[in-house]
């Protein structure tokens, strides 16, 4: 876009009503979330799955670019070249490390090929000990172990396998709980493990209606994919942790859930295990 046109659009933007800008996005922009279903089973026939081989290929290529220093970080296979951290998430990780005497052992559930690790590792390098264990699908684990694993970053197929290898200070689930067929069963499992800390990041939580499912359509320039996604009731979500955890931090996280006429709020939660 010529700079003169870009500057003109920037100057004009404050005078264009927000509703008009939203209408442009609704009618002419990419529709990320479509449909509405009461259950995962009713949504699934309208979507593909998370284990498409092409997704791993793109994510691995991008992650290797980050590892080689040719990009700052990746998200969903998209490369970013300026170092940026998620400030609230980083603050939570630093609080966990401070409570553990300068040590940080992360169990990163659904962490792709270490997306959050690669984005924040430079800011955590001062710690006395850093260990980052990713739990992922089997084909991601295989690729991670072959191309990326080292003394700090490791990959496991299950939480149990990761826990057998190391006692962790915190379980991190970033942008993943709402992508599970049965999120409440997994939240029950998280709570039962009684880790000292839980960080549940980039969650689509709401206060005024029951859980429901929409279909996320990833733009083809990222990778062609469709996923069911839960939009979760906050009170029901938090009920899993009421008996054993205290909400230490609740913050607005960075994901954007564009549902057409309304941007859905994105939440982050840091939970601390209460003493028995």
Predicted local distance difference test score (pLDDT) of residue 223: 75
- Rounded Cα–Cα distance for residues 74 and 33 (Å): 22
Q: What is the pLDDT of residue 265?
A: 73
Q: Check: CB of residue 253 under 8 Å from CB of residue 267.
A: yes
Give the HSE-up count for residue 27: Cα atoms under 13 Å, Cβ half-sphere. Answer: 6
Give the count of beta carbons closer than 10 Å to the beta carbon of residue 206: 18
CA atoms within 13 A on the CB side of 139: 10
Structure tokens at 21: 């800008």
- The whole-number pLDDT of residue 260 equals 60
pLDDT tens, N- to C-terminus, the chain (276 residues): 444 444 444 454 454 344 443 433 443 345 778 999 999 999 999 987 666 677 899 999 999 999 999 999 999 889 999 999 999 999 999 999 999 999 999 999 999 999 999 999 999 999 999 999 999 999 999 999 999 999 999 999 999 999 999 999 999 999 999 999 999 999 999 999 999 999 999 999 999 899 999 999 888 777 778 889 999 999 999 999 999 999 999 999 988 777 665 677 789 999 999 987
Closest to 177 measured CA to CA, from 242, 44, 268: 268
CATH numbers and ranges of domains, the chain: 31-273 (3.40.50.150)
CB of 193 within 8 A of CB of 129? no
């Amino acid at each position: 876009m010529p700079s003169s046109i870009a500057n003109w659009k920037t100057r004009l933007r404050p005078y264009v009503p927000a509703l008009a800008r939203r209408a442009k996005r609704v009618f002419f922009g990419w529709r990320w979330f479509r449909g509405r279903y009461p259950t995962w089973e009713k949504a699934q026939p309208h979507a593909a799955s998370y284990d498409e081989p092409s997704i791993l290929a793109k994510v691995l290529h991008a992650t290797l670019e980050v590892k080689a220093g040719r990009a700052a970080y990746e998200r969903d296979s998209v490369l970013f070249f300026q170092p940026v951290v998620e400030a609230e998430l980083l603050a939570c990780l630093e609080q966990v490390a401070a409570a553990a005497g300068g040590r940080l052992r992360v169990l990163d559930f659904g962490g792709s090929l270490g997306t959050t690790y690669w984005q924040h590792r430079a800011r955590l390098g001062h710690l006395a000990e850093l260990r980052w264990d990713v739990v992922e699908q089997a084909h991601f684990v295989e690729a991670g172990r072959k191309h990326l694993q080292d003394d700090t970053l490791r990959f496991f197929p299950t939480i149990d396998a990761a826990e057998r290898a190391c006692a962790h200070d915190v379980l991190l689930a970033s942008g993943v709980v709402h992508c599970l067929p049965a999120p409440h069963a997994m939240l029950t499992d998280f709570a039962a493990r009684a880790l000292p800390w839980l960080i549940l990041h980039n969650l689509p939580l709401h206060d005024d209606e029951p859980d429901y499912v929409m279909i996320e359509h990833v733009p083809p320039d990222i990778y062609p994919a469709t996923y069911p996604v839960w939009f979760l009731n906050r009170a029901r979500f938090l009920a899993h942790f009421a008996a054993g955890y205290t909400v230490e931090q609740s913050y607005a996280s960075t994901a954007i859930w564009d549902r057409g006429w309304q941007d859905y709020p994105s939440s982050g939660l840091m939970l601390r295990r209460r003493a028995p």
